[in-house]
Structure 1
Amino acid sequence: MLSPETLAALRNLPLAAKTAAEGFLAGQHLSRRRGAGMEFSQYRPYLPGDDLRRLDWRLAARSDRYYIRESEVDTSLVVHLLLDASASMNHRDDNGLTKLDYARLLLAALAYLAHNQGDAVALTVLHPAGIQHLSGQSDSRQLPRIFHALENVEAAGRFPGNDALAPFTARRQRALIICVSDLYEETSEIEQLLTRLRAVSGEVMVLHTLARNELDFTHRGSVMFQDLETGHTLQLDADQQRAAYQQQLQEWLRNTAQNARRHGFDYHEVNTSEPLDRALREFLRRRQSIS
Protein backbone atom coordinates (compact mmCIF):
# COMPACT_ATOMS: atom_id res chain seq x y z
CA MET A 1 0.00 0.00 0.00
CA LEU A 2 1.16 3.52 -0.77
CA SER A 3 1.81 5.89 2.10
CA PRO A 4 -0.86 8.50 2.88
CA GLU A 5 1.58 11.25 1.90
CA THR A 6 2.04 9.71 -1.55
CA LEU A 7 -1.71 9.35 -2.03
CA ALA A 8 -2.32 12.93 -0.91
CA ALA A 9 0.38 14.16 -3.29
CA LEU A 10 -1.67 12.88 -6.21
CA ARG A 11 -4.03 15.81 -5.55
CA ASN A 12 -6.79 13.76 -7.14
CA LEU A 13 -9.10 12.18 -4.60
CA PRO A 14 -10.83 9.73 -7.00
CA LEU A 15 -7.46 8.46 -8.24
CA ALA A 16 -6.08 8.23 -4.70
CA ALA A 17 -9.15 6.30 -3.55
CA LYS A 18 -8.90 3.86 -6.44
CA THR A 19 -5.16 3.40 -5.92
CA ALA A 20 -5.63 2.68 -2.22
CA ALA A 21 -8.62 0.36 -2.60
CA GLU A 22 -8.08 -1.67 -5.76
CA GLY A 23 -5.72 -4.11 -4.03
CA PHE A 24 -8.65 -5.21 -1.87
CA LEU A 25 -11.11 -5.77 -4.69
CA ALA A 26 -9.95 -9.27 -5.58
CA GLY A 27 -12.67 -11.63 -4.43
CA GLN A 28 -16.15 -10.40 -3.70
CA HIS A 29 -17.56 -11.41 -0.33
CA LEU A 30 -20.52 -13.69 -0.91
CA SER A 31 -22.92 -14.58 1.86
CA ARG A 32 -24.16 -18.10 2.29
CA ARG A 33 -27.72 -16.88 1.75
CA ARG A 34 -29.42 -18.83 -1.03
CA GLY A 35 -31.47 -17.24 -3.74
CA ALA A 36 -32.00 -16.75 -7.47
CA GLY A 37 -28.52 -15.44 -8.17
CA MET A 38 -26.22 -16.12 -11.10
CA GLU A 39 -23.85 -18.71 -9.61
CA PHE A 40 -25.41 -22.17 -9.24
CA SER A 41 -25.07 -23.67 -5.77
CA GLN A 42 -27.36 -26.68 -5.22
CA TYR A 43 -30.78 -28.26 -5.69
CA ARG A 44 -33.50 -28.54 -3.05
CA PRO A 45 -36.98 -30.12 -3.18
CA TYR A 46 -39.80 -27.96 -4.53
CA LEU A 47 -42.08 -26.41 -1.89
CA PRO A 48 -45.52 -24.88 -2.52
CA GLY A 49 -45.12 -21.19 -3.27
CA ASP A 50 -41.67 -21.47 -4.86
CA ASP A 51 -41.04 -19.54 -8.06
CA LEU A 52 -41.69 -22.03 -10.90
CA ARG A 53 -39.13 -20.24 -13.08
CA ARG A 54 -36.43 -21.73 -10.83
CA LEU A 55 -37.74 -25.28 -11.20
CA ASP A 56 -35.44 -27.63 -13.13
CA TRP A 57 -37.82 -29.22 -15.64
CA ARG A 58 -35.21 -31.49 -17.20
CA LEU A 59 -34.37 -33.02 -13.83
CA ALA A 60 -38.09 -33.40 -13.13
CA ALA A 61 -38.57 -35.26 -16.43
CA ARG A 62 -35.73 -37.66 -15.61
CA SER A 63 -36.56 -38.30 -11.96
CA ASP A 64 -40.29 -37.57 -11.74
CA ARG A 65 -39.46 -35.27 -8.83
CA TYR A 66 -39.45 -31.51 -8.64
CA TYR A 67 -36.32 -29.60 -7.62
CA ILE A 68 -35.51 -25.89 -7.30
CA ARG A 69 -32.15 -24.56 -8.48
CA GLU A 70 -30.53 -22.45 -5.76
CA SER A 71 -27.62 -20.06 -6.11
CA GLU A 72 -25.35 -18.07 -3.92
CA VAL A 73 -26.14 -14.38 -4.31
CA ASP A 74 -24.21 -11.26 -3.47
CA THR A 75 -25.60 -9.38 -0.52
CA SER A 76 -25.53 -5.61 -0.38
CA LEU A 77 -26.09 -3.16 2.42
CA VAL A 78 -26.02 0.56 3.12
CA VAL A 79 -22.55 1.70 4.12
CA HIS A 80 -22.96 5.02 5.91
CA LEU A 81 -19.73 7.03 6.18
CA LEU A 82 -19.59 9.55 9.00
CA LEU A 83 -16.92 12.29 9.12
CA ASP A 84 -16.10 14.39 12.17
CA ALA A 85 -15.32 17.84 10.72
CA SER A 86 -14.73 19.68 14.00
CA ALA A 87 -11.62 21.87 14.29
CA SER A 88 -9.50 19.29 16.14
CA MET A 89 -9.34 17.36 12.85
CA ASN A 90 -7.04 20.15 11.59
CA HIS A 91 -4.24 18.75 13.77
CA ARG A 92 -1.19 18.29 11.52
CA ASP A 93 1.20 15.35 11.74
CA ASP A 94 4.93 15.52 11.06
CA ASN A 95 4.31 14.14 7.55
CA GLY A 96 2.42 17.34 6.70
CA LEU A 97 -1.03 15.76 6.63
CA THR A 98 -3.85 16.80 8.90
CA LYS A 99 -6.26 14.30 10.41
CA LEU A 100 -8.85 15.68 7.99
CA ASP A 101 -6.54 14.99 5.02
CA TYR A 102 -6.16 11.39 6.15
CA ALA A 103 -9.89 11.04 6.85
CA ARG A 104 -10.68 12.24 3.31
CA LEU A 105 -8.41 9.59 1.81
CA LEU A 106 -9.73 6.86 4.08
CA LEU A 107 -13.41 7.63 3.50
CA ALA A 108 -12.92 8.01 -0.25
CA ALA A 109 -11.21 4.60 -0.39
CA LEU A 110 -13.97 3.04 1.72
CA ALA A 111 -16.62 4.57 -0.54
CA TYR A 112 -14.84 3.20 -3.62
CA LEU A 113 -14.53 -0.24 -2.06
CA ALA A 114 -18.15 -0.38 -0.87
CA HIS A 115 -19.49 0.91 -4.19
CA ASN A 116 -17.56 -1.73 -6.12
CA GLN A 117 -19.10 -4.40 -3.90
CA GLY A 118 -22.56 -3.20 -4.92
CA ASP A 119 -23.38 -1.43 -1.67
CA ALA A 120 -25.34 1.78 -1.37
CA VAL A 121 -23.02 4.41 0.10
CA ALA A 122 -24.11 7.37 2.22
CA LEU A 123 -22.00 10.22 3.61
CA THR A 124 -22.67 12.52 6.52
CA VAL A 125 -20.27 15.34 7.41
CA LEU A 126 -20.67 16.66 10.95
CA HIS A 127 -20.11 20.42 11.02
CA PRO A 128 -20.52 22.74 14.01
CA ALA A 129 -23.63 24.28 12.43
CA GLY A 130 -25.21 20.92 11.65
CA ILE A 131 -24.80 18.19 9.09
CA GLN A 132 -24.19 17.74 5.37
CA HIS A 133 -25.85 14.53 4.24
CA LEU A 134 -25.82 12.46 1.06
CA SER A 135 -28.38 9.67 1.29
CA GLY A 136 -27.38 6.11 0.46
CA GLN A 137 -27.25 5.41 -3.29
CA SER A 138 -25.58 2.75 -5.41
CA ASP A 139 -25.90 4.43 -8.82
CA SER A 140 -22.91 5.43 -10.95
CA ARG A 141 -23.12 9.09 -9.91
CA GLN A 142 -22.83 8.47 -6.17
CA LEU A 143 -19.04 8.16 -6.01
CA PRO A 144 -18.44 11.51 -7.78
CA ARG A 145 -20.93 13.12 -5.38
CA ILE A 146 -19.11 11.69 -2.37
CA PHE A 147 -15.66 12.61 -3.70
CA HIS A 148 -16.82 16.17 -4.38
CA ALA A 149 -18.26 16.52 -0.88
CA LEU A 150 -15.08 15.18 0.73
CA GLU A 151 -12.81 17.40 -1.35
CA ASN A 152 -14.69 20.48 -0.18
CA VAL A 153 -14.90 19.69 3.54
CA GLU A 154 -13.27 22.17 5.89
CA ALA A 155 -12.89 21.39 9.58
CA ALA A 156 -13.94 24.14 11.98
CA GLY A 157 -15.51 24.80 15.36
CA ARG A 158 -16.82 22.22 17.78
CA PHE A 159 -18.78 19.03 17.32
CA PRO A 160 -22.46 19.80 16.60
CA GLY A 161 -24.96 19.68 19.45
CA ASN A 162 -27.95 17.41 19.96
CA ASP A 163 -30.42 19.87 18.42
CA ALA A 164 -28.55 19.94 15.11
CA LEU A 165 -28.20 16.16 15.12
CA ALA A 166 -31.79 15.30 16.08
CA PRO A 167 -33.16 14.96 12.50
CA PHE A 168 -30.19 12.78 11.56
CA THR A 169 -30.58 10.34 14.45
CA ALA A 170 -34.35 10.09 13.93
CA ARG A 171 -33.88 8.14 10.70
CA ARG A 172 -34.24 4.40 11.20
CA GLN A 173 -32.31 2.50 8.56
CA ARG A 174 -30.35 -0.71 8.72
CA ALA A 175 -26.77 0.21 7.84
CA LEU A 176 -23.12 -0.21 8.66
CA ILE A 177 -22.08 3.13 10.17
CA ILE A 178 -18.36 3.92 9.80
CA CYS A 179 -17.32 6.92 11.86
CA VAL A 180 -13.91 8.57 11.31
CA SER A 181 -13.10 10.86 14.21
CA ASP A 182 -10.34 11.72 16.67
CA LEU A 183 -13.01 11.34 19.40
CA TYR A 184 -12.07 14.61 21.09
CA GLU A 185 -15.23 15.83 22.83
CA GLU A 186 -16.18 18.24 25.60
CA THR A 187 -18.55 15.90 27.38
CA SER A 188 -19.69 12.72 25.65
CA GLU A 189 -21.46 14.12 22.58
CA ILE A 190 -19.76 11.77 20.07
CA GLU A 191 -20.43 8.73 22.24
CA GLN A 192 -24.09 9.72 22.61
CA LEU A 193 -24.46 10.20 18.86
CA LEU A 194 -22.94 6.82 18.05
CA THR A 195 -25.06 5.12 20.71
CA ARG A 196 -28.23 6.53 19.13
CA LEU A 197 -27.05 5.56 15.66
CA ARG A 198 -26.37 2.01 16.79
CA ALA A 199 -29.92 1.84 18.14
CA VAL A 200 -31.45 2.88 14.80
CA SER A 201 -28.93 1.35 12.38
CA GLY A 202 -27.56 -1.71 14.14
CA GLU A 203 -23.83 -1.62 13.32
CA VAL A 204 -21.22 1.02 14.19
CA MET A 205 -17.51 0.89 13.33
CA VAL A 206 -15.31 3.58 14.89
CA LEU A 207 -12.00 4.43 13.20
CA HIS A 208 -10.22 6.46 15.87
CA THR A 209 -7.88 8.78 13.98
CA LEU A 210 -4.66 9.82 15.70
CA ALA A 211 -1.48 11.50 14.47
CA ARG A 212 1.91 9.98 15.11
CA ASN A 213 3.25 13.15 16.70
CA GLU A 214 0.52 13.04 19.34
CA LEU A 215 0.98 9.30 19.90
CA ASP A 216 4.79 9.49 20.17
CA PHE A 217 4.93 13.10 21.43
CA THR A 218 7.74 13.99 19.05
CA HIS A 219 7.95 17.63 20.20
CA ARG A 220 11.16 18.95 21.74
CA GLY A 221 11.98 21.74 24.16
CA SER A 222 9.64 24.59 25.01
CA VAL A 223 6.42 24.31 23.01
CA MET A 224 3.22 26.35 22.86
CA PHE A 225 0.11 24.19 22.33
CA GLN A 226 -3.25 25.56 21.28
CA ASP A 227 -6.62 23.86 21.55
CA LEU A 228 -7.96 24.04 17.99
CA GLU A 229 -11.57 24.21 19.13
CA THR A 230 -11.44 26.54 22.15
CA GLY A 231 -8.33 28.58 21.34
CA HIS A 232 -6.86 27.96 24.81
CA THR A 233 -3.06 27.82 24.91
CA LEU A 234 -0.56 25.99 27.09
CA GLN A 235 3.21 26.38 27.16
CA LEU A 236 5.38 23.57 28.51
CA ASP A 237 8.72 21.84 28.24
CA ALA A 238 8.03 18.82 26.02
CA ASP A 239 11.04 16.84 27.25
CA GLN A 240 10.01 17.19 30.89
CA GLN A 241 6.35 16.37 30.27
CA ARG A 242 6.81 13.49 27.78
CA ALA A 243 6.60 10.59 30.25
CA ALA A 244 3.54 11.99 32.06
CA TYR A 245 1.84 12.84 28.76
CA GLN A 246 2.34 9.38 27.29
CA GLN A 247 1.12 7.70 30.47
CA GLN A 248 -2.08 9.77 30.46
CA LEU A 249 -2.54 9.27 26.72
CA GLN A 250 -2.30 5.47 27.01
CA GLU A 251 -4.77 5.50 29.87
CA TRP A 252 -7.20 7.60 27.81
CA LEU A 253 -6.82 5.32 24.79
CA ARG A 254 -7.49 2.21 26.90
CA ASN A 255 -10.56 3.80 28.46
CA THR A 256 -11.80 5.03 25.08
CA ALA A 257 -11.45 1.60 23.48
CA GLN A 258 -13.09 -0.18 26.43
CA ASN A 259 -15.96 2.29 26.53
CA ALA A 260 -16.55 2.00 22.77
CA ARG A 261 -16.67 -1.79 22.90
CA ARG A 262 -18.90 -1.70 25.97
CA HIS A 263 -21.41 0.23 23.84
CA GLY A 264 -21.16 -2.43 21.12
CA PHE A 265 -19.03 -0.40 18.70
CA ASP A 266 -16.40 -2.09 16.52
CA TYR A 267 -13.43 0.08 17.56
CA HIS A 268 -10.09 0.45 15.75
CA GLU A 269 -7.26 2.92 16.13
CA VAL A 270 -5.75 4.33 12.93
CA ASN A 271 -2.52 6.28 12.65
CA THR A 272 -2.31 9.09 10.09
CA SER A 273 1.30 8.18 9.24
CA GLU A 274 0.40 4.61 8.23
CA PRO A 275 -1.17 3.21 5.02
CA LEU A 276 -4.94 2.78 4.83
CA ASP A 277 -4.82 -1.00 4.49
CA ARG A 278 -5.66 -1.89 8.09
CA ALA A 279 -8.86 0.14 8.07
CA LEU A 280 -9.87 -1.28 4.69
CA ARG A 281 -9.29 -4.84 5.90
CA GLU A 282 -11.38 -4.19 9.01
CA PHE A 283 -14.18 -2.85 6.81
CA LEU A 284 -14.15 -5.99 4.66
CA ARG A 285 -14.08 -8.19 7.75
CA ARG A 286 -16.99 -6.34 9.31
CA ARG A 287 -18.96 -6.29 6.07
CA GLN A 288 -18.52 -10.02 5.64
CA SER A 289 -19.63 -10.72 9.20
CA ILE A 290 -22.99 -8.94 8.72
CA SER A 291 -23.71 -10.07 5.12
Structure 2
Amino acid sequence: MSENARKYLDPKVVSRLSNLELIARLVVEGFIVGLHKSPYHGFSVEFSEHRQYSPGDETRYIDWKVYGRTNRYFIKQFEEETNLRAYIILDASRSMAYSSGDNITKFEYACYLAGALSYLMMMQRDAVGLVIYDEGIRKFLPPRSVRSYLDVILHELENAKPENKTNTAKSLHLIAERIKRRGLIILLSDLLDDQDEVISAFKHFKHKKNEIIVFQILDPLERNFNFNVDALFKDMETSEKMMTQSLYIQRDYRRALNEFIKRYRFECLNNGMIMRLWIQAHRLMLRFLDI
Protein backbone atom coordinates (compact mmCIF):
# COMPACT_ATOMS: atom_id res chain seq x y z
CA MET A 1 0.00 0.00 0.00
CA SER A 2 1.33 3.45 -0.91
CA GLU A 3 2.18 6.18 1.58
CA ASN A 4 -0.90 8.12 0.42
CA ALA A 5 -3.14 5.14 1.16
CA ARG A 6 -1.57 4.62 4.58
CA LYS A 7 -2.22 8.23 5.50
CA TYR A 8 -5.80 8.58 4.31
CA LEU A 9 -7.06 5.03 4.82
CA ASP A 10 -6.72 4.69 8.58
CA PRO A 11 -8.37 1.30 9.32
CA LYS A 12 -10.34 2.80 12.22
CA VAL A 13 -11.83 5.40 9.89
CA VAL A 14 -12.68 2.88 7.17
CA SER A 15 -14.27 0.38 9.54
CA ARG A 16 -16.39 3.10 11.14
CA LEU A 17 -17.50 4.53 7.82
CA SER A 18 -18.38 1.13 6.42
CA ASN A 19 -21.31 1.02 8.81
CA LEU A 20 -22.91 4.11 7.31
CA GLU A 21 -25.79 3.31 5.00
CA LEU A 22 -24.92 6.32 2.87
CA ILE A 23 -26.98 5.66 -0.20
CA ALA A 24 -29.51 2.96 0.53
CA ARG A 25 -32.44 5.07 -0.65
CA LEU A 26 -30.95 5.92 -4.03
CA VAL A 27 -32.31 3.01 -6.05
CA VAL A 28 -34.09 4.84 -8.88
CA GLU A 29 -34.43 3.65 -12.49
CA GLY A 30 -31.40 1.37 -12.44
CA PHE A 31 -29.43 3.78 -10.24
CA ILE A 32 -27.71 1.13 -8.09
CA VAL A 33 -26.14 2.16 -4.85
CA GLY A 34 -23.17 -0.19 -4.92
CA LEU A 35 -23.76 -1.64 -1.48
CA HIS A 36 -23.47 -5.06 -3.13
CA LYS A 37 -21.36 -6.44 -5.96
CA SER A 38 -22.68 -5.77 -9.47
CA PRO A 39 -24.01 -8.92 -11.19
CA TYR A 40 -23.46 -7.61 -14.71
CA HIS A 41 -20.36 -9.52 -15.80
CA GLY A 42 -19.76 -9.21 -19.50
CA PHE A 43 -20.66 -5.52 -19.78
CA SER A 44 -17.09 -4.75 -18.89
CA VAL A 45 -14.74 -1.93 -19.60
CA GLU A 46 -11.47 -3.43 -18.39
CA PHE A 47 -10.12 -6.92 -17.69
CA SER A 48 -9.49 -7.43 -13.99
CA GLU A 49 -8.30 -10.94 -13.07
CA HIS A 50 -8.75 -14.71 -13.42
CA ARG A 51 -10.40 -17.08 -11.00
CA GLN A 52 -10.74 -20.84 -11.11
CA TYR A 53 -13.80 -22.22 -12.88
CA SER A 54 -16.64 -23.44 -10.65
CA PRO A 55 -19.67 -25.53 -11.69
CA GLY A 56 -22.41 -23.19 -12.87
CA ASP A 57 -20.06 -20.57 -14.33
CA GLU A 58 -20.77 -19.60 -17.93
CA THR A 59 -18.36 -21.44 -20.21
CA ARG A 60 -18.11 -18.49 -22.60
CA TYR A 61 -15.87 -16.73 -20.05
CA ILE A 62 -13.33 -19.56 -19.87
CA ASP A 63 -9.87 -18.36 -20.91
CA TRP A 64 -8.79 -21.10 -23.32
CA LYS A 65 -5.28 -19.73 -23.64
CA VAL A 66 -4.74 -20.20 -19.92
CA TYR A 67 -6.25 -23.69 -20.20
CA GLY A 68 -3.75 -24.52 -22.94
CA ARG A 69 -0.85 -23.54 -20.68
CA THR A 70 -2.09 -25.03 -17.41
CA ASN A 71 -4.64 -27.68 -18.37
CA ARG A 72 -6.98 -26.03 -15.83
CA TYR A 73 -10.11 -23.98 -16.37
CA PHE A 74 -10.03 -20.31 -15.39
CA ILE A 75 -12.75 -17.69 -15.79
CA LYS A 76 -12.05 -14.15 -16.95
CA GLN A 77 -13.34 -11.48 -14.58
CA PHE A 78 -13.77 -7.85 -15.46
CA GLU A 79 -14.16 -4.48 -13.84
CA GLU A 80 -17.87 -3.92 -14.32
CA GLU A 81 -19.32 -0.86 -15.92
CA THR A 82 -21.28 0.42 -12.96
CA ASN A 83 -24.49 2.43 -12.82
CA LEU A 84 -23.17 4.45 -9.88
CA ARG A 85 -20.87 7.36 -10.68
CA ALA A 86 -19.87 9.29 -7.58
CA TYR A 87 -18.19 12.68 -7.38
CA ILE A 88 -16.52 13.59 -4.09
CA ILE A 89 -16.41 17.39 -4.00
CA LEU A 90 -13.87 18.79 -1.54
CA ASP A 91 -13.79 22.35 -0.23
CA ALA A 92 -10.14 23.44 -0.18
CA SER A 93 -10.70 27.08 0.78
CA ARG A 94 -8.72 28.76 3.53
CA SER A 95 -11.48 28.47 6.15
CA MET A 96 -11.05 24.69 6.02
CA ALA A 97 -7.54 25.12 7.48
CA TYR A 98 -8.99 25.94 10.91
CA SER A 99 -8.40 23.72 13.92
CA SER A 100 -8.65 24.24 17.66
CA GLY A 101 -6.44 22.78 20.35
CA ASP A 102 -4.70 19.61 19.20
CA ASN A 103 -7.41 18.69 16.70
CA ILE A 104 -6.54 18.19 13.05
CA THR A 105 -7.83 20.82 10.63
CA LYS A 106 -11.25 20.62 9.02
CA PHE A 107 -9.50 20.08 5.70
CA GLU A 108 -7.42 17.16 6.94
CA TYR A 109 -10.54 15.64 8.43
CA ALA A 110 -12.35 16.04 5.09
CA CYS A 111 -9.42 14.39 3.29
CA TYR A 112 -9.57 11.37 5.58
CA LEU A 113 -13.29 11.11 4.95
CA ALA A 114 -12.83 11.53 1.18
CA GLY A 115 -10.12 8.85 1.11
CA ALA A 116 -12.18 6.38 3.11
CA LEU A 117 -15.31 6.92 1.02
CA SER A 118 -13.32 6.55 -2.20
CA TYR A 119 -11.87 3.28 -0.95
CA LEU A 120 -15.23 1.88 0.12
CA MET A 121 -16.97 2.72 -3.13
CA MET A 122 -14.16 1.34 -5.27
CA MET A 123 -14.22 -1.89 -3.28
CA GLN A 124 -17.90 -2.03 -4.25
CA ARG A 125 -16.93 -1.56 -7.91
CA ASP A 126 -18.44 1.92 -8.10
CA ALA A 127 -16.88 4.68 -10.18
CA VAL A 128 -15.46 7.52 -8.07
CA GLY A 129 -14.12 10.93 -9.04
CA LEU A 130 -12.69 13.84 -7.08
CA VAL A 131 -13.29 17.57 -7.49
CA ILE A 132 -11.32 20.09 -5.41
CA TYR A 133 -12.46 23.72 -5.30
CA ASP A 134 -11.99 27.06 -3.54
CA GLU A 135 -12.91 30.20 -5.52
CA GLY A 136 -13.37 27.95 -8.55
CA ILE A 137 -12.58 24.43 -9.69
CA ARG A 138 -8.98 23.60 -8.82
CA LYS A 139 -8.92 19.92 -9.80
CA PHE A 140 -11.43 17.74 -11.65
CA LEU A 141 -10.86 13.98 -11.77
CA PRO A 142 -13.73 12.21 -13.58
CA PRO A 143 -15.10 9.00 -12.03
CA ARG A 144 -13.43 5.68 -12.76
CA SER A 145 -13.95 2.27 -11.20
CA VAL A 146 -10.53 0.65 -11.70
CA ARG A 147 -8.81 0.16 -8.38
CA SER A 148 -5.52 1.63 -9.54
CA TYR A 149 -7.37 4.96 -9.74
CA LEU A 150 -7.64 5.07 -5.97
CA ASP A 151 -3.98 6.03 -5.63
CA VAL A 152 -4.52 8.90 -8.09
CA ILE A 153 -7.27 10.26 -5.84
CA LEU A 154 -5.20 9.78 -2.69
CA HIS A 155 -2.24 11.53 -4.33
CA GLU A 156 -4.42 14.58 -5.03
CA LEU A 157 -5.70 14.58 -1.45
CA GLU A 158 -2.13 14.39 -0.17
CA ASN A 159 -0.99 17.37 -2.21
CA ALA A 160 -4.01 19.66 -1.94
CA LYS A 161 -3.73 22.60 0.45
CA PRO A 162 -6.47 24.96 1.70
CA GLU A 163 -5.15 28.28 0.44
CA ASN A 164 -7.62 30.66 -1.21
CA LYS A 165 -10.92 32.35 -0.50
CA THR A 166 -14.24 30.52 -0.78
CA ASN A 167 -16.85 30.75 -3.48
CA THR A 168 -18.80 27.57 -2.90
CA ALA A 169 -21.88 28.51 -4.92
CA LYS A 170 -19.93 29.57 -8.02
CA SER A 171 -17.77 26.44 -7.84
CA LEU A 172 -20.74 24.10 -7.43
CA HIS A 173 -22.54 25.66 -10.40
CA LEU A 174 -19.40 25.17 -12.52
CA ILE A 175 -19.11 21.56 -11.38
CA ALA A 176 -22.79 20.88 -12.10
CA GLU A 177 -22.31 22.10 -15.67
CA ARG A 178 -19.26 19.87 -16.19
CA ILE A 179 -21.04 16.73 -15.05
CA LYS A 180 -22.79 15.36 -18.12
CA ARG A 181 -24.19 12.12 -16.66
CA ARG A 182 -26.25 11.98 -13.52
CA GLY A 183 -24.54 10.58 -10.48
CA LEU A 184 -24.05 10.77 -6.74
CA ILE A 185 -22.64 14.06 -5.44
CA ILE A 186 -20.85 13.94 -2.07
CA LEU A 187 -19.94 17.41 -0.80
CA LEU A 188 -17.41 17.89 2.02
CA SER A 189 -17.36 21.50 3.23
CA ASP A 190 -17.89 23.73 6.24
CA LEU A 191 -20.56 25.53 4.13
CA LEU A 192 -19.51 28.86 5.62
CA ASP A 193 -20.59 30.93 2.66
CA ASP A 194 -23.66 32.79 1.40
CA GLN A 195 -26.40 30.34 2.31
CA ASP A 196 -29.00 31.35 -0.28
CA GLU A 197 -26.47 31.01 -3.09
CA VAL A 198 -25.16 27.66 -1.85
CA ILE A 199 -28.68 26.24 -1.60
CA SER A 200 -29.35 27.45 -5.15
CA ALA A 201 -26.26 25.50 -6.28
CA PHE A 202 -27.53 22.38 -4.50
CA LYS A 203 -30.75 22.68 -6.50
CA HIS A 204 -28.72 22.95 -9.72
CA PHE A 205 -27.42 19.41 -9.10
CA LYS A 206 -30.93 18.16 -8.36
CA HIS A 207 -32.26 19.81 -11.53
CA LYS A 208 -29.76 17.69 -13.46
CA LYS A 209 -31.10 14.53 -11.76
CA ASN A 210 -28.15 13.99 -9.42
CA GLU A 211 -28.43 12.62 -5.90
CA ILE A 212 -26.67 14.65 -3.21
CA ILE A 213 -25.15 13.93 0.19
CA VAL A 214 -23.83 16.98 2.05
CA PHE A 215 -21.36 16.63 4.91
CA GLN A 216 -20.93 19.88 6.82
CA ILE A 217 -17.62 19.70 8.67
CA LEU A 218 -17.04 21.97 11.65
CA ASP A 219 -14.44 22.22 14.39
CA PRO A 220 -15.75 21.55 17.92
CA LEU A 221 -14.91 25.09 18.97
CA GLU A 222 -16.74 26.52 15.95
CA ARG A 223 -19.78 24.49 16.89
CA ASN A 224 -19.87 25.24 20.61
CA PHE A 225 -18.01 28.57 20.90
CA ASN A 226 -16.58 27.60 24.28
CA PHE A 227 -14.47 30.72 24.75
CA ASN A 228 -14.34 31.92 28.36
CA VAL A 229 -12.30 35.08 27.87
CA ASP A 230 -12.34 38.09 25.57
CA ALA A 231 -10.77 37.10 22.28
CA LEU A 232 -9.48 38.65 19.08
CA PHE A 233 -10.88 36.83 16.06
CA LYS A 234 -9.31 36.95 12.62
CA ASP A 235 -11.14 35.96 9.44
CA MET A 236 -8.98 33.30 7.77
CA GLU A 237 -9.95 34.44 4.28
CA THR A 238 -10.19 38.24 4.53
CA SER A 239 -7.79 38.81 7.50
CA GLU A 240 -10.45 41.08 9.05
CA LYS A 241 -10.09 41.25 12.85
CA MET A 242 -12.68 41.68 15.58
CA MET A 243 -12.35 41.86 19.37
CA THR A 244 -15.25 40.21 21.20
CA GLN A 245 -16.48 39.65 24.72
CA SER A 246 -16.96 35.96 24.16
CA LEU A 247 -19.14 35.13 27.16
CA TYR A 248 -21.63 37.84 26.19
CA ILE A 249 -22.10 36.68 22.62
CA GLN A 250 -21.87 32.93 23.23
CA ARG A 251 -25.63 32.37 23.42
CA ASP A 252 -26.37 34.50 20.37
CA TYR A 253 -23.60 32.80 18.39
CA ARG A 254 -24.90 29.33 19.19
CA ARG A 255 -28.45 30.32 18.33
CA ALA A 256 -27.39 31.84 15.00
CA LEU A 257 -25.25 28.83 14.08
CA ASN A 258 -28.05 26.42 14.99
CA GLU A 259 -30.44 28.31 12.72
CA PHE A 260 -27.82 28.31 9.96
CA ILE A 261 -27.39 24.53 10.21
CA LYS A 262 -31.11 23.85 10.56
CA ARG A 263 -31.87 25.78 7.41
CA TYR A 264 -29.35 23.71 5.43
CA ARG A 265 -30.92 20.58 6.84
CA PHE A 266 -34.45 21.75 6.04
CA GLU A 267 -33.59 22.73 2.45
CA CYS A 268 -31.77 19.45 1.86
CA LEU A 269 -34.62 17.38 3.26
CA ASN A 270 -37.22 19.39 1.37
CA ASN A 271 -35.37 18.86 -1.92
CA GLY A 272 -34.62 15.16 -1.56
CA MET A 273 -31.01 15.51 -0.39
CA ILE A 274 -29.15 14.06 2.60
CA MET A 275 -27.40 16.47 4.95
CA ARG A 276 -25.28 15.51 7.95
CA LEU A 277 -23.16 17.49 10.37
CA TRP A 278 -19.73 16.11 11.23
CA ILE A 279 -17.81 17.55 14.14
CA GLN A 280 -14.13 16.74 13.69
CA ALA A 281 -13.20 14.94 16.87
CA HIS A 282 -9.99 14.48 18.81
CA ARG A 283 -7.64 11.88 17.29
CA LEU A 284 -9.96 11.09 14.38
CA MET A 285 -12.61 9.37 16.51
CA LEU A 286 -15.52 10.08 14.19
CA ARG A 287 -18.91 11.01 15.61
CA PHE A 288 -21.93 10.85 13.38
CA LEU A 289 -24.40 13.50 14.59
CA ASP A 290 -28.01 14.22 13.78
CA ILE A 291 -29.07 17.78 14.55
TM-score (norm: length of structure 2) = 0.70
1:56-97 C-alpha deviation (Å, 9 max, x unpaired): xxxxxxxxxxxxxxxxx9965112100111221112133331
1:100 and 2:107 correspond: yes
Q: Among residues 200, 204, 225, which one is paired with 2:212 in the alignment? A: 204
| Counterpart residue number, 1:255 | 263
| Counterpart residue number, 1:30 | 36
| Counterpart residue number, 2:30 | none
Taking the aligned partners of 2:109 and 2:10, their CA distance within structure 1 comes to: 15
| Counterpart residue number, 1:66 | none
Q: 1:36 to 1:133 in 2, by over 3 A?
A: closer
Q: Among residues 140, 145, 150, which one is paired with 1:143 in the alignment? A: 150
The 4+ residue runs of structure 1 with deviation greater than 4 A are 22-26, 33-38, 73-76
Higher relative contact order, chain-length normalized (CA < 8 Å, sep 6+): 1
Taking the aligned partners of 1:79 and 1:223, their CA distance within structure 2 comes to: 42
Larger displacement relative to structure 2 (14-23 or 132-141): 14-23
Q: CA deviation at 1:13?
A: 4.3
Structure 1: gaps spanning 5 or more residues: 1-11, 39-50, 54-72, 283-291
| Counterpart residue number, 1:226 | 234
1:133 and 2:140 correspond: yes
Q: Among residues 75, 97, 100, which one is paired with 1:90 in the alignment? A: 97
Q: Which AA in structure 2 matches 1:245? A: Y
Larger displacement relative to structure 2 (103-112 or 15-24): 15-24
Report if the CA contact (8 A) 1:84-1:159 is conserved: no
| Counterpart residue number, 2:121 | 114
Q: CA deviation at 1:271?
A: 0.7
Q: CA deviation at 1:179?
A: 0.3
Report if the CA contact (8 A) 2:168-2:193 is conserved: no
Q: CA deviation at 1:36?
A: 6.7
Taking the aligned partners of 2:190 and 2:114, their CA distance within structure 1 comes to: 14
What secondary structure, in the 3-state scheme, does the structure 2 residue paired with 1:221 have?
coil
Q: CA deviation at 1:201?
A: 4.5
Larger displacement relative to structure 2 (257-266 or 160-169): 160-169
| Counterpart residue number, 2:14 | 21
Q: What's the Cα RMSD here?
A: 3.5
| Counterpart residue number, 1:235 | 243
Report if the CA contact (8 A) 1:82-1:126 is conserved: yes
1:172 and 2:190 correspond: no
1:156-179 C-alpha deviation (Å, 9 max, x unpaired): 212256389536524321211100
Aligned length: 239
What secondary structure, in the 3-state scheme, does the structure 2 residue paired with 1:29 have?
coil
